[in-house]
Structure 1
Amino acid sequence: MNPVLSCFIGYRYWRARKSNAFASFITFFAVSGIFLGVAALIIVSSVMNGLEGQLKQRILGAVPQLTVHSEHPFSDWQNLAESLKTLPGVRGAAPSIATQAMVQSSENISAVQLYGIIPDADRQLSPIADHTFPEAYNALRSGSYKVLLGGELARRLNVSSGDKVRLLSGDGVVYSPLGPVPSQRTFVVAGVFDMGSQVDANVAYIHYADARRLMRKSPDAIQDLRLFLTDPFAAPQLTPKVEQLLAKQGLNVSASDWRDSYGHLFAAVKMEKNMMSLMLSLIIAVAAFNIVSALVMMVVDKTSDVAVLKTQGLGRVDIMLVFVFQGSLNALLGLVLGLALGITATEYINPLLNSVGISILGPGQLLPVIINHQQLLAIAIGTVVITLLATLYPALRAATVQPANALRYE
């Protein structure tokens, strides 16, 4: 076996492929297919990564990523929060409570997910403070009965800062002779926040103590801690670690994460991303079939050469390697060009779209892109594997050539 000689012969065949014009034509389209398929796969995957990253930041930044609940109040939640920060992936913890509620203005009424927070504990962890005015965020004080609404929710209710709304909580229901009566109280709108996602339409914030009062519970008791994570997608792996850490401190808690409320949304995004990648991968697969066609034609054209090489001592594996190497060169050429175009187009996609006057997300909004190097590696390896598999059949055909039959009429 002489792999160097086989690769050299394969390279010579690759350089001299213009001797068969039709085979060269098919090879050109095979390389172009791999080139365009790889480039499109990189661009679409990067854009989908960017959109998923924005959803993660805008939605999971505004809602609890991981929450621990205890049936009994925590005696010292500050020390508990410090111990939770020792877990890798946990940025911090702060008291929080959530309830389903209705918010009513003089013109409209809407369902809302109401969160009670302590601004001083949340300020360095939650992005809400960065998406509203500081005075509005700081106005959430115990006993002030002020509420921070999402921008879309405020527009739906037609309210602004200083207006009054009524909050009704189902958790504070009392039963009277006339039936169940929900807990309700008038709040003043402190301001609005705008995360640029669906949470703007169904989320509101009030002070933790005011939320407890609205739910007819002790305002000073801390039974829920909201954990802020470095990567919200790591919540399923962190949940058992958090429960084990608190169990060692003698606390019996239950944990829940963002998947209870928004898991279906991110599952849909992940499925869409996978389906887009699968469809674009089919372009590469079709291009690989073109490589098969081109190599089969090359084997037919070089049958006499293969027979001569066999008479000179090249074995079956050497002959196979000649055509595998030739087909791999086409694949590598398309792969390198596709990687170059895909990465360059992804880096400059927003200037390119602006130059031709295209705005996909609306005026003034840039298309988010995140280039994942692991995805690039997977695309490159997948392309090489598919094309290597495509070269096996023509190479096997070449290896089965019988020199006596091929050279009988030469």
Structure 2
Amino acid sequence: MNPGFPFYIGYRYWRARKANAFASFITLFAVSGIFLGVAALIVVSSVMNGLEGQLKQRILGAVPQLTIYSEVPLVDWTEQASALKALPGVLGVTPSVSTQAMVQSAANIRAVQIYGVFPELAQELSSVAQHTYSGAFEQLKSGDYKVILGAELARQLKVAPGDTIRLLSGDGVVYSPLGPVPSQRKFLVSGIFEMGSQVDAGVAYIHYQDAKRLMRQPSDAIDQLRLYLVDPFSAPALAPKVQDVIAKQGVKATTSDWRDTYGHLFGAVKMEKNMMSLMLSLIVAVAAFNIVSALVMMVVDKTTDVAVLKTQGVTTPAVMGIFVVQGTLNAVLGLVLGLAVGILITLNLNGIMTTLGISILGVGQSLPVKLEFMQLFVIVIGTLLVTLLATLYPALRAANVQPATALRYE
């Protein structure tokens, strides 16, 4: 039998006007459900992708993505850095030091994470330098004791560039007859950075050697290396390779990555993204069940036709193919419309919201949107697979029609 025969008959049934008005309504409802589900899934997934990407840039661009802690100070850190740079996915390597501290101004006091950096390397690799007032990192010179604060932290402390603050570090505590005394020193605010995330309220940068002095450690000792990565999310997979490279250099070290401090935040975003996708996928699943209902009604309506076809030699697989084709065409129609509308809305989402006067993030701010083609592929394949499974029961029911029984009263 011609392999195109089931498709031809299924296509004819699909195009023909339905005698059963209720079956037509169910079919329309199923197509509309797939259309709305796919379109909503594309729009929401793209917004969640944009949010995740924006968090990656604004948070992981300001904090260490992967850090190596050596048990002893490195004699020649440039040798280890050269070996690490050869790893795929590594943008650069710089010495690093960090400490938790309290920052005090005349108006307030706040907890802060201090990062000691070499300004020339930080300007080349860190995205913070791109969100800092011009020349701020260049003013970080060893012995000048200058600091760059996050915008929100500066607002809470009520300070501006040129003001003086005091940093009190928990590292380097000395004990006196009056009890433990934290290491402290006055710093001049040389600049403000603004990443547009929570790091603006809890991070500050000072010169590497100034940080070592604040912690009462040798200023020329380097025992931490900070890696800048092409994709910060690759840090967990890259950590074992980094340890292998360091071990070959004869250095005993451990690693930590951004998950230690911000893993819970990105975990929550990922869970929310997955839950939203699951909820919207249920719309497609419900539409698929409506396709089952519509096809069952079609089978009942076309029982005589199926019986006649079987008496003329149409095989059972061919009969199944007729109704699988009919149900799949409904799904493809809804899928194509959903893809077209979903992509169109996604690419013009902020313009549409502006036209309608809707502002979710506030005046002047736009929703982050990132359309991923691999995600579109998964949506297409998933929708077709669910629909195909939904057509199997009605197709099996049609294939089991007995011609003698169906044509008894014809």
Which amino acid letter does the alignment assign opposite residue 3 of structure 1?
A: P
Aligned to 2:333: 333
- How far does residue 78 in structure 1 lie from its aligned partner after superposition? 2.3
- How far does residue 386 in structure 1 lie from its aligned partner after superposition? 0.4
- How far does residue 20 in structure 1 lie from its aligned partner after superposition? 2.2
Instruction: Spell out the pairing of 1:6-25 with structure 2 (5 A cutoff).
Output: 6-25=6-25
Aligned to 1:100: 100
Query: Identity across aligned pairs (percent)?
Result: 70
Aligned to 2:247: 247
Q: Matched residue pairs, number? A: 410
- How far does residue 303 in structure 1 lie from its aligned partner after superposition? 0.4
2: CA distance between counterparts of 1:6 and 1:58?
55
Contact map agreement 1:63 1:258 (CA 8 A) in 2: yes
Q: RMSD of the TM alignment (CA)?
A: 0.9
Which amino acid letter does the alignment assign opposite residue 161 of structure 1?
A: P
Instruction: Spell out the pairing of 1:70-89 with structure 2 (5 A cutoff).
Output: 70-89=70-89
Aligned to 1:149: 149
Aligned to 2:343: 343
Aligned to 1:209: 209
2: CA distance between counterparts of 1:407 and 1:127?
76
TM-score by length of 2: 0.99
Instruction: Spell out the pairing of 1:270-349 with structure 2 (5 A cutoff).
Output: 270-349=270-349
Aligned to 1:136: 136
2: CA distance between counterparts of 1:119 and 1:78?
16
Secondary structure, aligned partner of 2:43: helix
Q: What stretches of structure 1 of length at least 5 have no aligned partner?
A: none
Cα displacement string for residues 23-75 of structure 1 (whole angstroms, at most 9, x for unaligned residues)? 11110110011011001000000010000000000000000000001122212
Which amino acid letter does the alignment assign opposite residue 71 of structure 2?
A: E
Which amino acid letter does the alignment assign opposite residue 288 of structure 2?
A: A
- How far does residue 124 in structure 1 lie from its aligned partner after superposition? 1.0
Contact map agreement 1:17 1:23 (CA 8 A) in 2: no
Contact map agreement 2:95 2:222 (CA 8 A) in 1: yes
- How far does residue 79 in structure 1 lie from its aligned partner after superposition? 3.0
Cα displacement string for residues 342-399 of structure 1 (whole angstroms, at most 9, x for unaligned residues)? 1111111111111111121111112111111110000000000000011011111111
Q: Find out whether 1:222 has 2:222 as its counterpart.
A: yes
Aligned to 1:268: 268
Aligned to 1:52: 52
Contact map agreement 1:115 1:206 (CA 8 A) in 2: yes
Instruction: Spell out the pairing of 1:386-401 with structure 2 (5 A cutoff).
Output: 386-401=386-401
1: CA distance between counterparts of 2:399 and 2:352?
49
Which amino acid letter does the alignment assign opposite residue 147 of structure 1?
A: V
Cα displacement string for residues 253-292 of structure 1 (whole angstroms, at most 9, x for unaligned residues)? 1110000000000000000000000000000001001101
TM-score by length of 1: 0.99
Cα displacement string for residues 210-263 of structure 1 (whole angstroms, at most 9, x for unaligned residues)? 100011100011111110000000000100001101111111111100000000
Secondary structure, aligned partner of 2:4: helix
Instruction: Spell out the pairing of 1:168-247 with structure 2 (5 A cutoff).
Output: 168-247=168-247
Secondary structure, aligned partner of 1:182: strand
Cα displacement string for residues 157-183 of structure 1 (whole angstroms, at most 9, x for unaligned residues)? 111111111111111111122211111
2: CA distance between counterparts of 1:268 and 1:155?
28
Q: Which moved more, 1:276-285 or 1:118-127?
A: 118-127
Secondary structure, aligned partner of 1:72: coil
2: CA distance between counterparts of 1:363 and 1:391?
48
- How far does residue 76 in structure 1 lie from its aligned partner after superposition? 1.8
Secondary structure, aligned partner of 2:159: coil
Contact map agreement 1:2 1:318 (CA 8 A) in 2: no
Secondary structure, aligned partner of 1:18: coil
Contact map agreement 1:163 1:189 (CA 8 A) in 2: yes
Q: Find out whether 1:368 has 2:368 as its counterpart.
A: yes
2: CA distance between counterparts of 1:182 and 1:306?
88
Contact map agreement 1:3 1:321 (CA 8 A) in 2: no
Contact map agreement 1:324 1:391 (CA 8 A) in 2: yes
Secondary structure, aligned partner of 1:195: coil
Moved over 2 A (4+): 17-20
Contact map agreement 2:320 2:399 (CA 8 A) in 1: yes
Contact map agreement 2:291 2:391 (CA 8 A) in 1: yes
Aligned to 1:126: 126
Contact map agreement 2:80 2:249 (CA 8 A) in 1: no
Aligned to 2:380: 380
Q: What stretches of structure 2 of length at least 5 have no aligned partner?
A: none
Q: Find out whether 1:90 has 2:90 as its counterpart.
A: yes
Secondary structure, aligned partner of 1:186: strand
2: CA distance between counterparts of 1:121 and 1:58?
19
Q: Which moved more, 1:233-242 or 1:310-319?
A: 310-319
2: CA distance between counterparts of 1:113 and 1:357?
40
- How far does residue 82 in structure 1 lie from its aligned partner after superposition? 2.1
Aligned to 2:409: 409
